[in-house]
Structure 1
């Protein structure tokens, strides 16, 4: 009897020891910004130029996007936009043209035709990004689209540039988000998926940093074009 009790005791202890507790898997939250970005092709004299753009408005079955003016160069240029590839629909293609071009702040607005609800317009941050804030972008470095990268905000109009005057829209945003050919025009956004800037270039003096057009400058140009504040 004692042997049986000892055997059961050892057996039960062994069962308890080998029991595994499985925690529920962490719920994955897909990045909604993938539904807002597009790969942009514009034909130039020297060949096809590639960049990124992101949706800001859907009006009358068309989508308005912003990108960098060093891609567009002028109004009226034909563009071709490609969506992020999905298993259900593949990669869709839309035609459009540039409707606003300004060398000031490197701003360009595109209108894509017959897009329906394909693209989800992004929201703009109401809070000015601060040094140390995490930042993300989705773009097409060397044509590889979509590629998501991240970094941190360093500041605005810093690193040898004149600071903004009080009340004047901030011009540039400096981050550690990597910048490569094809990334230009990609949204720079915060952890709430709100736009804080638009990626434009690598900082010449500090190659580990990138330069983006500050959200306040983007909104200034959108107000000029749409004749209203679209924040």
Structure 2
């Protein structure tokens, strides 16, 4: 990289960081989410077409993990109530992806430029994870509850049944499943509009 490029790169990254997309105003309505953030629908469709993952499942899981915040991270932990000692994990971004799992995704998809704070990349990551869960543990890509349990516990943990001893986690997974089904029903009502021609979206989106 030339000295000039090295000087410009930090400014470019800073400008990109300053353009982060804010969370949707109505996260309980999938149609409202996609109408507010048209690019998110493009990313969801691209994930569906690439990985065979239904639109509503990764969105429901993502909401649970980050509330659609691009820089979401686990809360800081403190000693004596005021001395920070770090976060519970290194999960980060829209999908709250852990570093090791994200690195696996980057390596397996050869997507070295991927960022956990980029919605398109986070959606592709979710598609990759859901697909691997299906391959490794036989979980349907449409089963938001079991997919979320794999996401939280890891593929090995799910096989061992670690989630079975965590009533609180089972309740969260049930919430994800309910949101997924609600998103699916909403999507049926607005899919035709969302799939309108690119010209309609350019002038009226």
Q: Same fold (TM over 0.5)?
A: no
Q: Considering Cα pairs closer than 8 Å and 6+ residues apart, tell me whether 1 or 2 has the greater RCO.
A: 2
Scaled by the length of structure 1, the TM-score of the pair is: 0.26
- Larger Rg belongs to: 1
Scaled by the length of structure 2, the TM-score of the pair is: 0.29
Richer in strand (by share) = 1
